């Protein structure tokens, strides 16, 4: 794959290394569902991404499998109040208490799931995510899914990688705005943070 950034010049996009599958120990694994909220996923949302809506059945199946194996489930929830400077970068979105802020009904958190409100791209920044993953649950492996690939998914994966979590990202489980954004996310996760990238959520398994 080549891309042109300067007129008359192209660059090669490095190959992404895909694993055929990933089998993770259920007791030390958690799934992070990044920002699957109405404003990002559903028609009528402020920053809707069609690819996020199309992957919902796959994520629901992954979460069903995880819950069957007692794998921890966590959600990041983009959360903003009046005057948030992020609204100078993006249109107003995910105002606390609105329909757009809510996690989509198809992936509704269950009582034992962890919800981490956040007001920046990184799911670890200023949240209790690391506390529960590390100190309470003793998690070592993270499956990261959600939207948007090169923004909140990648920033969350970066923070996880810097904390030496073992990361797994399914390519069809993260939504991107462009093919380039998708490729860049998977390349960074697999190369820089030594994460595993698989092609599908169906390639992820949990072992007791």
Indicate the domain borders of the chain.
19-207
The answer to whether residue 44 scores a pLDDT higher than 90 is: yes
- CB crowding 91-102: b at 16 or more within 10 Å, else e: eebbbeeeebbe
Q: Which run of H or of E encompasses 119?
A: none
Provide the whole-model pTM. Answer: 0.93
Provide the token pair at 152. 């909140």
The answer to whether residue 52 scores a pLDDT higher than 60 is: yes
Is 19-207 in CATH node 3.40.50.850? Answer: yes
Provide the token pair at 194. 């030594």
pLDDT more than 70, % of the chain: 95
């Amino acid at each position: 794959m080549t891309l042109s950034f300067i007129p008359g010049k192209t660059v090669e996009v490095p190959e992404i290394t895909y694993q055929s599958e990933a089998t993770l120990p259920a007791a030390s694994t958690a799934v992070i569902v990044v920002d699957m909220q109405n404003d990002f996923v559903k028609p009528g949302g402020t920053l809707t991404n069609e690819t996020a809506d199309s992957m919902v059945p796959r994520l629901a199946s992954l979460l069903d499998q995880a819950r069957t194996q007692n794998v921890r489930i966590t959600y990041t929830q983009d959360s903003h109040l009046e005057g948030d400077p992020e609204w100078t970068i993006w249109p107003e979105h995910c105002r606390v208490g609105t329909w757009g802020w809510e996690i989509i009904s198809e992936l509704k958190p269950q009582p034992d799931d962890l919800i981490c409100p956040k007001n920046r791209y990184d799911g670890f920044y200023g949240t209790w995510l690391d506390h529960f993953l590390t100190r309470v649950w003793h998690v070592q492996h993270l499956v990261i899914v959600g939207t948007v690939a090169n923004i909140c998914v990648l920033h969350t994966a970066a923070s996880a990688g810097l904390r030496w979590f073992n990361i797994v990202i399914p390519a069809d489980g993260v939504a991107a705005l462009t093919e380039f954004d998708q490729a860049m996310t998977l390349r960074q996760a697999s190369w820089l943070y030594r994460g595993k990238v698989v092609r599908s959520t169906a390639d992820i398994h949990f072992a007791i």
